[in-house]
């Protein structure tokens, strides 16, 4: 039903679409009445809460705090909104020459021990334990490198509990490896576990390192790990000899 009161249209019991159809078909309505009716119908369709079109169509930007972006999120950003470096072995060619030369020269103690035992076809406990000690020092160095990276102001890895606590774990594993003097196999396994855990921290869990360092760390860790596995294989397959007995 449609009725007029003081030049205002009141709609009751009839849907808005049907009122519009009746308005367009009614011959007695003037253009002024139709405009008035359309304005009243539009006011019925719009919500009672006043809101401008610009406010309805505007998109609010969400600002996330820096702490929500730390420790490797799925959006490819690291701590404090800095873009995370992608991992690729091709980035190894971008490494500075001092870091590249010193890093690969650090593999000499790892490789020389199993290589010498493989050539002589003998297992030397002193040489194997020297390899374990060197591996433990490298594991402890990797933890200290993360600690030193988080300390400077403006570092992508802030000195929070996550970064600093994980930096201490490799040092604890290195200490446990040094305690295994009477059982070199266990010490070698602890060193291998420390190398793998440090690489996992640097690649996936903790942000901040450049791509060339991640590539170099991956290659160095794999070579050091395989050298430790080779020492364990030689211990099981070859006869044990002591260097002191050979010298005497």
pLDDT of residue 18: 53
pLDDT band at 207 (very low <50, low <70, confident <90, very high): low
Backbone angles phi, psi at 213, to 5 degrees: -70, -40
Domain residues of the chain, as ranges? 2-57, 75-247
> If pLDDT is split at 50, 70 and 90, which confidence band does 87 have?
low
Average pLDDT over residues 108-118: 95
Q: How far apart are CA 70 and CA 78, in angstroms?
A: 6
C-alpha–C-alpha distance, residues 118 and 112, integer Å: 10
Q: Both tokens of residue 155?
A: 């570092």
How far apart are the C-alpha atoms of 238 and 241, rounded to whole Å? 9
Quote the CA–CA distance of 116 and 152 in Å, as a whole number.
Answer: 42
Cα 101 from Cα 96, distance rounded (Å): 9
pLDDT one-digit tens code per residue, 220-236: 999 999 999 999 999 99
pLDDT for res 246: 57
Distance CA 195, CA 78 (A): 23
Token pair for 34: 């139709």
pLDDT > 70: what percent of the chain?
A: 62
* Range 54-67 average pLDDT: 41
Tens digits of per-residue pLDDT, 92-108? Answer: 888 899 999 999 999 99
Cβ atoms 175, 152 nearer than 8 A: no
Average pLDDT over residues 41-46: 47
Share of the chain above pLDDT 90, in %: 40
Q: What is the mean pLDDT of residues 78-100?
A: 70
Classify each residue of 153-167 as buried b or exposed e, where b means 16 or more C-beta atoms within 10 Å of its C-beta: eebbbbeeebbbebb
């Amino acid at each position: 039903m449609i009725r007029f009161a003081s030049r205002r249209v009141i709609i009751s019991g009839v849907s808005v679409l049907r009122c519009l159809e009746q308005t367009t078909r009614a011959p007695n309505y003037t253009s002024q009445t139709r405009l008035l009716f359309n304005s009243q119908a539009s006011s019925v369709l719009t919500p009672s809460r006043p809101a401008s079109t610009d406010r309805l169509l505007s998109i609010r930007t969400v600002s996330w705090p820096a702490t929500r972006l730390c420790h490797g999120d799925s959006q490819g950003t690291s701590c404090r909104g800095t873009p995370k470096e992608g991992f690729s072995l091709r980035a190894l060619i971008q490494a500075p020459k001092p870091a590249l030369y010193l890093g690969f020269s650090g593999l000499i103690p790892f490789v020389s021990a199993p290589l010498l035992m493989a050539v002589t076809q003998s297992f030397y406990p002193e040489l194997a334990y020297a390899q374990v000690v060197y591996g433990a020092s490298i594991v402890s160095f990797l933890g200290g490198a993360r600690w030193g990276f988080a300390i400077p102001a403006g570092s992508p890895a802030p000195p929070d509990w996550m970064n600093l606590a994980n930096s201490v774990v490799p040092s604890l594993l290195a200490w446990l490896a040094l305690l295994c003097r009477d059982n070199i196999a266990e010490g070698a396994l602890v060193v291998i576990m420390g190398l793998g855990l440090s690489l996992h921290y640097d690649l996936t869990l903790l942000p901040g390192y450049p791509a060339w360092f991640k590539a170099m760390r991956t290659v160095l860790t794999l070579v050091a790990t395989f050298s430790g596995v080779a020492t364990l294989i030689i211990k099981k397959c070859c006869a044990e000899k002591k260097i002191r007995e050979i010298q005497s």
